[in-house]
């Protein structure tokens, strides 16, 4: 309960004043600072303790069996480590983006699959929190903080990933209700969620602009016509309950619309700026684990009478891992910092997500190489890390999409600055 009490303290007006990201003077310095507050240090340490003492020892079992870590999820909820971005008026601590990425890195150091189960609620709540009506926020955000339930973000479909405008799920208005039909795929927490945030096409006219063709909704998992698919056996992050979801004539009330009717595309896209820093932080956590495992192994493993870390070829690999991870961490912090200042962070969120994902994959590959034949064996930890890393380059928008966003945002900045 110490962790929960500390998180509640973080949400007090006094603590928020100490973390005033818009006023450098409020933090005791005149400009840029890389120093955490005392509250953030305590939160990091408590999250690290839970991750390394509770999640890490269970990681191999859940990766091997694919069992969902219900007990760990419940313990994390009891400690207050879930739903941390939900504001106090809905029962959450209302932590900042920076607080969230600090915690996400620590959790993912231990196991990305289990951590995804804990943090996926944030994907579902971000658009609800930003665009939902007061009634929908009270009901669905409040539900997550009152009970240890899970939520899921349902946009991806069997034939639609990064192309959000290609969503085929349909929503038809019937009086005061909507009728939803369609299929979602690769939904994190899909098999265990109590409610879903989903996107559906609400205007059947193919000529309707994307900006007016889609509507976002909250659908409860036990609504008639909702069917959860089988758990998918993925390459990595196997502790996550990743499933498909089918909607067959699912009737939902109009009050469950999130944002404006027809404005669902922007509801979805607008939430990514809040969620991508946390994904970047997750990739940083995995990369840091790769570094620590590699250093430990390279110090202990000897060839020709010398620890292999003494060889320049190995030490240079570790140095490159450190360079990439420290750089990714700083980009992640900047993307979160901008969000906390209320500034647009699309550019930096995409940079952070793209850089951290690529770096995590390089670090995992190099860790396996440093371990040699042992690294290719499931008895050693880096094999799992390599499998877990790949999805960071795919979900929350592929890294190819991130690069398109980065270039587009830079061109917009140049236009705004009056440059050709």
Phi, then psi, of 188 in degrees rounded to 5: -70, 130
d(CA 315, CA 72): 36
Residues taking part in catalysis:
396
d(CA 289, CA 46): 18
Q: Could you tell me if 154 and 223 are in contact, meaning their C-beta atoms sit under 8 angstroms apart? A: no
Q: Other CB atoms closer than 10 Å to residue 242's CB: what's the count? A: 26
Q: Could you tell me if 355 and 328 are in contact, meaning their C-beta atoms sit under 8 angstroms apart? A: yes
Cα dihedral 281, 290, 364, 327, rounded to 10, equals 50
Q: Other CB atoms closer than 10 Å to residue 4's CB: what's the count? A: 15
């Amino acid at each position: 309960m110490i962790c929960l009490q500390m998180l509640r303290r973080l949400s007090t007006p006094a603590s928020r004043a100490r973390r005033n990201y818009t006023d450098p003077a409020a933090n005791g310095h005149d400009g840029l600072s890389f120093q955490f507050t005392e509250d953030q240090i305590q939160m990091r340490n408590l999250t690290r303790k839970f991750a390394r003492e509770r999640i890490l020892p269970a990681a191999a079992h859940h990766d091997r069996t694919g069992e969902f870590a219900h007990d760990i999820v419940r313990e994390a909820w009891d400690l207050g480590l879930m739903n941390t971005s939900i504001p106090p008026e809905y029962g959450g601590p209302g932590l900042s983006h920076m607080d969230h990425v600090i915690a996400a890195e620590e959790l993912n150091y231990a196991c990305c699959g289990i951590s995804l189960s804990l943090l996926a609620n944030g994907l579902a709540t971000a658009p609800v929190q930003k665009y939902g009506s007061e009634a929908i926020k009270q009901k669905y955000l409040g539900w997550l903080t009152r009970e240890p339930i899970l939520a899921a973000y349902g946009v991806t479909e069997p034939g639609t990933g990064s192309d959000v405008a290609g969503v085929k799920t349909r929503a038809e208005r019937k009086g005061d209700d909507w009728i939803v039909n369609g299929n979602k795929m690769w939904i994190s927490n899909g098999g265990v969620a109590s409610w879903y945030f989903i996107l559906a096409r609400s205007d059947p006219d193919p000529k309707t602009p994307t900006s007016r063709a889609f509507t976002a909704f909250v659908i409860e998992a036990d609504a008639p016509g909702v069917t959860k698919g089988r758990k998918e056996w993925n390459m990595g992050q196997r502790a996550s309950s990743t499933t498909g979801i089918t909607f067959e004539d699912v009737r939902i009330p109009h009050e469950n619309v999130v944002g404006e009717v027809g404005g669902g595309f922007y509801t979805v896209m607008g939430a990514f700026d809040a969620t991508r820093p946390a994904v970047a932080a997750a990739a940083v956590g995995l990369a840091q684990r790769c570094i620590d495992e590699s250093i430990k192994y390279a110090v202990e493993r000897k060839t020709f009478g010398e620890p292999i870390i003494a060889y320049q070829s190995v030490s240079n690999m570790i140095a490159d891992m450190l360079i990439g991870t420290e750089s990714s961490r700083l980009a992640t912090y900047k993307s979160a910092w901008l969000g906390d200042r209320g500034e647009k962070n699309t550019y930096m969120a995409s940079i952070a997500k793209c850089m951290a994902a690529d770096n995590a994959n390089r670090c995992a590959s190099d860790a396996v190489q440093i371990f040699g034949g042992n690294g290719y064996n499931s008895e050693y930890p880096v094999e799992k890390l390599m499998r877990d890393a790949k999805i960071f380059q795919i979900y929350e928008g592929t890294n190819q999409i991130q690069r398109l966003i980065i270039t587009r945002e830079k061109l917009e900045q140049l236009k705004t600055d009056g440059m050709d």
